[in-house]
Amino acid sequence: MTESGTKRAGYFRANLAWIVGLLTIWAFVSFGCGIILAPWLNNWMLPGTQYPLGFWFAQQGSIYVFVLLIVIYVLAMNRLDRKFGVAEEDDA
């Protein structure tokens, strides 16, 4: 494999690792905490509020986490772009 080919593969592997990690959290907060575990989580309140915890995940918390996940991905990928030297030309 050529040098640029190895670089491409390395960049894409690192990208995939981030995607898998972040989507695991994505599924855990929405399908997990917001749906499947919600009835059980409703036994507690979100600390300091009157929100049943499962309800909070389903109607508030999961949405905040979604925004956070994209922010993390954007920052991580901007770093990867620079590390592997694959950023766009007018980026310098």
Contact residues for another protein, defined by CB under 8 A: 4, 7-8, 11-12, 15, 19, 22-23, 26, 30-31, 34-36, 38-39, 42, 46, 49-52, 54-56, 58-60, 62-64, 66-67, 69-71, 73-74, 77-78, 81, 85-91
CB of 8 to another protein, least distance (A): 6
Contact between 15 and 77 (Cβ < 8 Å): yes
Residue 52, φ and ψ in degrees, nearest 5: -60, 135
Measured from the CB of residue 54, what is the shortest distance to another protein in angstroms?
8
Contacts of 15 (CB under 8 A, 6+ apart): 77, 80
